[in-house]
Structure 1
Amino acid sequence: MTANRPMSVVFRVDASLDIGTGHVMRCLTLADALAASGAECCFICREHPGHLIEHIRGKGYPVHALPIGASALAMRGEPQAMDHPHHAHWLGCPWEMDAAETRAILDEDEPDWLVVDHYALDGRWEQALQGCYQKLMVIDDLADRPHVCDLLLDQNLGREPGDYEALVPAHCQRLIGPQYALLRPEFAALREYSLQRRQTPALKRLLITMGGIDQPNATGKVLEALKASPLPDDCQISVVMGAQAPWLEQVRALAATMPWPTEVKVNVTEMAQVMTDSDLAIGAGGSTSWERCCLGLPTLLVVLAENQLAGARTLHNSGAALTLGGPADLQEQLAPALHALLRDGHLVEMSRNARAITDGHGTERALQYMAFRA
């Protein structure tokens, strides 16, 4: 980066029905912080079913859309070679093809930072693009493959810097743990108020949030299981979903049959306020966990993917959430969990444990380091 031009940052990240929306959303959070500091940001995304390209453009960022053809569609769900990342099929094409398409874009204007948030990409892809960027940042949750990055961020509870010891170069700076969780500034802004209102707990508002896609329809399974659960008569239920969610209309129909007033919110932009106003969440694992922790929101946690298991277990063991298992376990597990949680003091204790995990300033910490290194 030269003194007479702003820092340039390119994000390589995807959303899809398989991947979900969380990777794109946390990259947008980082991009918003970078843009507010004067950086120029753009995105490279593949046009998977369920992509968020128009949403990103609606936020004001240019997007280079990579096409998905018949060969890419055929690759979905295929078993991967032993030397490929476990999630390689999420890319929708061979990594060499993706690298060549990305290089053609980066060659136009070498960015100061390339930020990669994709479980399907590893050090081979990154090495193939060396010379097309000044610095490389990887956002990861798995610690299951090598990288050749300058900066690595893993925001997960229980992760240790040593987990990446053999996976990144010696010079790589590792930002590890929920103190680096990429949260929008409104979560930190509402944290104090949210924590204060939980000092006198009650269950008046229940939030259900299973991610922007919710491929297994965990939301519908939660609503069905709640019908046999001990919610107070005056409880109100809010369901948050993405516009791309394949079960949206079925959930809307089911919400109309609930014994408690139940609203379905789509593409919510004020999520921090919705969480702050809620007394309990039934939510999926993943990045949203850190939003709930920042606001001290007690959570019954549902595991929607294998890569959420370790994080869910750690949150459960910390007392910040109570894990219900997967969607198939809800009918059996939800009612007993609510009975246990509504006993005196349990909501307060869970909120106290959750709030200790992250303060909501992780994006600022990451941004400071990127500015220092550029």
Structure 2
Amino acid sequence: MQILIRADASTEIGSGHIMRCLTFADMLRKEGATVYFVCRELKGHLCGLIEAKGYHCLRLPHLKQTFDQQKDAQETLLLLEFNGLKFDIVIIDHYLIDSLWEQAVRTAIPNIMVIDDLANRKHDCDILLDQNYFKNFEIRYDDLVPTGCNKLLGLKYLLLRPEFYEENTVIDKKCKPIQDLLIFYGGSDPTNETVKVLEALDQIKLTDLTIRIVVGLSNANLKLIENRCRDRNFHFYVQIDYLAQLMKKADLALGAGGVTMWERCYLGLPSIITVVAENQKASTEAAAKYGAVWNLGWHENVTVSNLVDIINNAIENPDVLKNMSIKAKQLLKSDVKYRTHPVIEAIINILR
């Protein structure tokens, strides 16, 4: 299988698309696939990380003007032609790409898969993956994809890193006082939620409480956060590949919505969520309504005082966190194991 992935990262976009695609690429490589990436060199791109993981990354130049998907498609096709590359399928994880780009690239690549969660534009694709939980998630794409498109919708198709699938990784959260608190708001944390939490922790009694702060290399406030953690004797981690291990140790997490929210739910880790992007709102609200997380709401409305109150509430009510853990694992069906992940099966089937 020759597979191409088109995705971007930047300080503005964040790192989520690339991190998800790296997880996907690792799964595909285990099935014998050769995987290439095409990424644009935006400020905060992760091309170096992709290459460090052992993948070829074909680079598109930084854009000085608004994203033009027709031009992007042409530049992508020229890159493939220049390098003499042929692919069986292209996987697109990009909010600015729709059927216009896909139809142009289909002239060179016969099969197209789209990863999306917005359901706000048409796609010309053979497989559509939306691994989120929404109200009416089964019908969101009915008028947006071709009739024969294989729609992979819902948490059954969630792409988790291998560490989350390892035997005995699911946490059994007992009703006990909080001893370990994990804070991670994504690789770039563009809305600066980590610093907000650090300010809240300054106002909370932290006796016998271990604090772990995780950031990505693209976090603009990395040095500031590192210094604050050193001053408070908090554990500080940068661009790690063992987040599941920290989640297993933690009794409570604070973070954003998105894939990492589902990772915490899969492990039964109680979470306090701040919504930092529009595409996180509906899924976070649905998870909170189910009882799997606490939703603080839109980041601009979340204050340091809100964080102090909800963290203190969590510390004082371990029984509530135990129930949240149970609901999170139920929602994610954490006890279900797959020999071959259903998304990988879908790709294998279309390329037969």
TM-score by length of 1: 0.88
State the partner residue of 1:303. 275
Residue 171 of structure 2 corresponds to residue 180 of structure 1:
no
State the partner residue of 2:139. 162
Alignment of 1:21-60 (within 5 A): 21-60=15-54
**CA distance in structure 1 between the partners assigned to 2:160 and 2:147 by the alignment:** 28
**CA distance in structure 2 between the partners assigned to 1:288 and 1:48 by the alignment:** 23
Residue 185 of structure 2 corresponds to residue 210 of structure 1:
yes
Q: Number of residue pairs matched?
A: 343
Q: How far off its partner does 1:294 sit?
A: 0.9
Alignment of 1:1-374 (within 5 A): 7-68=1-62, 72-75=63-66, 93-107=67-81, 108-158=84-134, 160-189=137-166, 192-196=168-172, 198-229=173-204, 231=206, 233-258=207-232, 261-328=233-300, 329-341=302-314, 342-358=316-332, 359=334, 364-374=341-351
State the partner residue of 1:82. none
Q: Which amino acid aligns with 1:243?
A: L
Q: How far off its partner does 1:215 sit?
A: 1.5
Identity percentage of aligned residues = 38
Contact 1:106–1:132 (Cα < 8 Å) also in 2: no
Contact 1:106–1:133 (Cα < 8 Å) also in 2: no
Q: How far off its partner does 1:321 sit?
A: 0.8
**CA distance in structure 2 between the partners assigned to 1:335 and 1:307 by the alignment:** 26
Contact 2:178–2:318 (Cα < 8 Å) also in 1: no
Q: How far off its partner does 1:40 sit?
A: 0.5
Contact 1:116–1:139 (Cα < 8 Å) also in 2: yes
**CA distance in structure 2 between the partners assigned to 1:38 and 1:171 by the alignment:** 27
String of CA shifts for 1:112-155, please: whole Å, max 9, x gaps. Answer: 11000000100111011112112110000110110010001001
Q: How far off its partner does 1:194 sit?
A: 3.7
Q: Which amino acid aligns with 2:72?
A: D
**CA distance in structure 1 between the partners assigned to 2:94 and 2:347 by the alignment:** 19
Q: Which amino acid aligns with 2:46?
A: L
Q: Which amino acid aligns with 2:6?
A: R
Gaps of 5+ in 2: none
**CA distance in structure 2 between the partners assigned to 1:131 and 1:370 by the alignment:** 19
The CA RMSD measured in Å over matched residues stands at 1.7
**CA distance in structure 2 between the partners assigned to 1:225 and 1:200 by the alignment:** 24
Q: Secondary structure at the match of 1:44?
A: strand
CA 1:264–1:334 in structure 2 vs 1: closer, same or farther (change >3 Å)? same
TM-score by length of 2: 0.93
Q: Which amino acid aligns with 2:267?
A: L
**CA distance in structure 2 between the partners assigned to 1:220 and 1:73 by the alignment:** 30
Q: How far off its partner does 1:344 sit?
A: 4.5
String of CA shifts for 1:330-372, please: whole Å, max 9, x gaps. Answer: 3131122223333141111110111122238688110011111
Q: Which amino acid aligns with 2:109?
A: Y
